[in-house]
Amino acid sequence: MGIITTASERGPRGAQEDRLVAVSLRDGWLLAVLDGHNGSVVSDFCAERLPALAQEVWVTSRKDVGEYNFLRTIIRMLHDETSHHIAGSTISLAHINEEEHCVDVAILGDSPVVISLKDDRFWVSTEHNVRSHAEDRQFVESRGVLVDRGYISIPEDGYTSGLQLSRALGDARFDKYLIREPDCSSIELDSKSVVAVMSDGVYDPRTIRRVGDLVSLSIKDAPSIVSDALKRGTHDNVSAIVWRA
């Protein structure tokens, strides 16, 4: 089995809305980071629900259509169970299959996943944020939102509310405008691979502005990632969960 490290700090925020989950499965691990907003109701619920849900869905998905179905089904079920909440949350899932030496990743929101590979290569997840994801921005605009200075506003609130994410769990006020389907990817692992799943508190406005810049992080373990973000002056909750081969 791989080695798992976790770390989470509130940072300068008034409350900690990040949640981390690591579920041991028969073939490896399911890692999850949930970054709540407008409260921790959704991130709390999903963190509590995930261990049992993952075990249940893992069995049925293995009998059906494979790995992507596993992650998509989890996110679809969590969306159904949280869609009535005003609060919202990102969710980033990494299913590490240690038997087949691969990791399947599903992203809903902007909590980044970075995977180090051989030959100093990295795989970095996309981020579903209207500031940086042009296709998602165009899609939500086509549904009738206003995007101004990187925030979504909706007619029901007189265009006064704001949300940066184009995909998330919860966020009932934005339900008919947001995308609820995750981006999924599969990556082969090697004997030196490291999988880091993080909240966007690892960003720093002075030195890390894009998801691609996250490859500059030292992803030795989760405490080093969180400590580094705090030293650089993060303005957010910061959390990380790391698997090492």
For residue 15, give its domain range.
3-127+182-244
Longest dimension (CA), the chain: 53
User: Coil, helix or strand for 187?
Assistant: strand
Q: Does residue 92 fall inside a structural domain? A: yes
Calculate the alpha carbon distances from 118 to 98, 122, 185 in Å. Answer: 17, 8, 18
- Tally of structural domains, the chain: 1
Q: Does residue 62 fall inside a structural domain? A: yes
When pLDDT is cut at 50, 70 and 90, the band that residue 233 belongs to is confident
∠ Cα 212 193 111 (to 5°): 40
CATH number at 197 reads: 3.60.40.10
| b/e map 119-148, b = 16+ CB within 10 Å | eeebbebbbbbbebbeebbebbeeeebebe
Query: Could you tell me if 7 and 103 are in contact, meaning their C-beta atoms sit under 8 angstroms apart?
Result: no
Q: Does residue 162 fall inside a structural domain? A: no
Q: What pLDDT, on a 0 to 100 scale, did the predictor assign at position 63? A: 52
Q: What pLDDT, on a 0 to 100 scale, did the predictor assign at position 65? A: 47
The sign one gets for the Cα dihedral 118, 220, 242, 99 is positive
Q: Does residue 216 fall inside a structural domain? A: yes
Name, of 21-25, 216-220, 225-229, the range with top average pLDDT. 21-25
Q: Which tokens sit at 201?
A: 């508190």
pTM, rounded to two decimals: 0.93
Answer whether residue 73 shows pLDDT above 80. yes
Q: Does residue 28 fall inside a structural domain? A: yes
Q: Does residue 40 fall inside a structural domain? A: yes
Instruction: Say how far apart CA 130 and CA 150 lie, in whole Å.
Output: 6
Choice between 1 and 85, residue whose per-residue pLDDT is larger: 85
Q: Does residue 206 fall inside a structural domain? A: yes
pLDDT tens for 41-57 read: 999 999 999 999 999 99
Q: What pLDDT, on a 0 to 100 scale, did the predictor assign at position 144? A: 92
pLDDT tens for 131-181 read: 889 999 999 999 999 999 889 999 888 777 789 999 999 999 999 999 999
Q: What pLDDT, on a 0 to 100 scale, did the predictor assign at position 77? A: 95
Q: Does residue 44 fall inside a structural domain? A: yes
Choice between 58 and 119, residue whose per-residue pLDDT is larger: 58
Q: What pLDDT, on a 0 to 100 scale, did the predictor assign at position 159? A: 79
